[in-house]
Amino acid sequence: MKKISLYIVSFALLSLSSCGLFELDNKDEPSATIQGEVIDAESGAPVLTDQGSEGIRVRLLELSYGENVQPNPDFFCKPDGTFQNTKIFGGTYNIRVDGPFIPLLREDDRGTPLADETQTKEISDLTKVTFEVQPFLNIEWVGEPQIINGKVRAQVRVTRGVSEDDFRAKIEPMGGYNSNFQDVTDIQLFVSYSSSVGYRARDERWSSKIEYAGSAFSGLLGEIVTIESVGAIPSGRAVFVRAAARINYDTPKGSGTRRWNYNEAKQVLVP
């Protein structure tokens, strides 16, 4: 009886093998590369971001498979506003970025397209792409960050990257508009040992924030704002700092993710 059982198992395995179950997958590995950058349409400056899901999201949709195709796994820009993916199958893709700027793809409540500034490209070998966007805010250093009693004290200036009228003209037709969308909700001072300092690479012992209710920040637009870290950073350490601010609007619409606009990182030495 045991011999008969062994014969049956052996026959089943041979049958599966002949069906190709154990054949090697000879499909080529994805080898096409996309490199991109996101810049301010007005100034040409890079749109600085966070390295993570709060930063600029890149979404690729391969169009070769028809209308029901699912997007490729999302990835994110580097802090300097550039992105790269070296593991893509060659093909025609719709390329979209979402971040702290006027959405490139805008639709009304019924899904009717209002504007589509995404890009469709054939990606093969090395493909480069540039997106020109309208950032919600601009954050700039005023002078150099100072160390006082082990804390970082910095001054920043926050201005709008897109006028209130232009913002409303482009966002209101999408439906559900609220006048509080343009309110600046907070300014953050991120501190870290990492040069990729930001929300995802911050040291909570020292990073700080100033929150604003409603339109309280409106009078501070264009003015100098002072923000100071918390705790005391150990003497002799070098840390990186960045400031960030955001408005009360999520991108993509309905995602619940309100993304910060950033300034460039600076390194400071704690004496």
**147 and 256 co-located in one domain:** yes
* Average confidence (pLDDT) over 207-227: 98
**41 and 144 co-located in one domain:** no
- Tens digit of pLDDT for each residue in 137-163? 999 999 999 999 999 999 999 999 999
**151 and 265 co-located in one domain:** yes
**125 and 142 co-located in one domain:** no
Task: Report the CATH number that the domain containing residue 45 is assigned in CATH.
Answer: 2.60.40.1120
**183 and 262 co-located in one domain:** yes
Mind spelling out the 3-state secondary structure of 202-240?
CCCCCCEEEECCCCCCHHHCCCEEEEECCCCCCCCCEEE
pLDDT at 26: 55
For tokens 């003015």, name the residue. Answer: 223
Single-letter amino acid, residue 184: V
pLDDT at 23: 47
Q: Which of 11-15, 58-62, 165-169, 176-180 has the lowest mean pLDDT?
A: 11-15
**154 and 239 co-located in one domain:** yes
Residue 9 domain-assigned? no
**153 and 252 co-located in one domain:** yes
Residue 10 has pLDDT above 90, yes or no: no
- Residue 12 to residue 70: CA distance in whole angstroms: 36
**167 and 246 co-located in one domain:** yes
* Average confidence (pLDDT) over 194-222: 97
Buried b (16+ CB within 10 A) or exposed e, 156-175: bbbebbbeeeebeebbeeee
**159 and 236 co-located in one domain:** yes
Q: Which whole-number Å values give the CA distances from 142 to 25, 45, 139, 156, in the listed order?
A: 58, 18, 10, 5
**121 and 156 co-located in one domain:** no
Global confidence as pTM: 0.87
Total domains in the chain come to 2
The tokens for 70 are: 């699912």
**110 neighbors 236 (Cβ within 8 angstroms):** no
Helix (H, G, I), strand (E, B) or coil at 5: helix
pLDDT at 8: 45
Residue 14 has pLDDT above 60, yes or no: no
Quickly state the pLDDT bin for 39 (edges 50, 70, 90).
Answer: very high
- Residue 234 to residue 55: CA distance in whole angstroms: 29
Residue 255 has pLDDT above 90, yes or no: yes
**262 and 156 co-located in one domain:** yes
- Residue 94 to residue 122: CA distance in whole angstroms: 9
Residue 14 domain-assigned? no
Last residue of a domain, one of 103, 133, 163: 133
Residue whose C-alpha is closest to residue 96's, from 70, 116, 124: 116
Last residue of a domain, one of 133, 167, 184: 133
* Average confidence (pLDDT) over 205-222: 98
Burial of 43 (0-12, 13-18, 19+ CB in 10 A): exposed
Query: Range of 177's domain?
Result: 137-269
For tokens 């790269």, name the residue. Answer: 84
Residue whose C-alpha is closest to residue 171's, from 75, 71, 250: 250
Task: Report the CATH number that the domain containing residue 154 is assigned in CATH.
Answer: 2.60.40.2060
Last residue of a domain, one of 133, 158, 181: 133
- Tens digit of pLDDT for each residue in 110-119? 999 999 999 9
**97 and 221 co-located in one domain:** no
- Other CB atoms within a 10 A radius of the CB of residue 154 amount to 24
